[in-house]
Amino acid sequence: MKLKPLLITTIGAFAIAGANAGDYAPEAKAPIYEEPAGWYGEVSAGYDNRYIFRGLWFADDTVWGGLSISNEIAPGLTWSTNVWYIDAMSNALNYSEANVGTGLEYETAVGTFSAGFLYYQFQDGFAGNSAPSNTPAGQRDATEFNIGYSRELFMGITGSVMAAYDLRIDAQYYEAGLSKSWALTDTIGMDLSGALGYGANNYYSRLGGDLGRNAFTHGLVTLAFPVALKENVTLTPHLSGNFSGPGRDGSNAGTIGDNAFFYGVSVAVGF
């Protein structure tokens, strides 16, 4: 499920492409390809030693690739669509996932508003290892609508909020984040971001009772260093820390532990 809310990630920064790094602050001279007016596309690929999405561990030793296309269809209004695929190379767990999404982003004087749709497909089941499709671990797909808002707050710090509704399990996810970027040189930047997630109606949580139904999922801190290899080619290594909340303790404790650090690298080519 790494695709995240479509426009917060794809246009505003995917995070990924891959590093969960958050939006680039507008004041910084970020060493990334400036999207031209009209149609714009990006191909990205990466490696992560651990795949954690919204605080929940899915697999280790993963490779992924994606393609996004966007177009400014009216002043300040951008449409985007993308596809993304991830696969675990580790023999310990068979896991693969494909995402398809589309959405709109509207930039105004008071901030940026977004709305998106995502379809997740889990080829080996939600928990991997080809679990039976009639069990929670064997869930084969999910559908999500999401909305978001972001704006620069002060001193180049960008704040963002988002809400997502999962139609498959009738549950909600909310997230708030802060991010800031610095230009270290003309070609190297540094991005620091943090996010706090909250799940409602038992959003992919193993915990029972009231605590499991509505609880904080996690806190995430990411440090990334985008490097402009060429005008339209960016290499981004990252280091992240995931800190499980009550809504993830029951799922992560037996796999990666309540708190985990992970790293990865991605490359993006704009066209």
How many domains are contained in the chain?
Answer: 1
Residue 259 lies in a domain: yes
d(CA 177, CA 10): 16
32: pLDDT strictly greater than 60: no
Q: How confident is the model at residue 164 (pLDDT cuts 50, 70, 90)?
A: very high
Is 95 among the domain residues?
Answer: yes
* Residue 253 pLDDT grade (very low, low, confident, very high; cuts 50, 70, 90): low
In tens, the pLDDT along 42-66 reads 999 999 999 999 999 999 999 999 9
**pLDDT for 93:** 80
Residues in the chain, overall count: 271
Range of the domain at 173: 6-270
pLDDT at 4: 40
Lowest mean pLDDT among 91-95, 114-118, 149-153, 242-246: 91-95
Residue 196 placed within a domain: yes
| pLDDT score of 28 more than 90 | no
**108 lies in some domain:** yes
The yes-or-no verdict on residue 20 having pLDDT over 90 is no
Q: Around Cβ 212, how many Cβ atoms within 10 Å?
A: 18
* 7, 18, 71 from 79: Cα distances, Å: 9, 20, 5
CATH code of the domain covering residue 92: 2.40.160.40
CB half-sphere exposure, 128, CA atoms < 13 A: 18
Q: What is the mean pLDDT of residues 17-28?
A: 34
Q: How far is CA 7 from CA 10, 80, 176, 252, in A?
A: 5, 7, 15, 28
> What pLDDT does 21 receive?
33
1 within domain boundaries? no
Instruction: Specify if 252 maps to a domain.
Output: yes
Task: Evaluate whether residue 188 is within a structural domain.
Answer: yes
Classify residue 106: in a domain, yes or no.
yes
pTM for this model (two decimals):
0.84
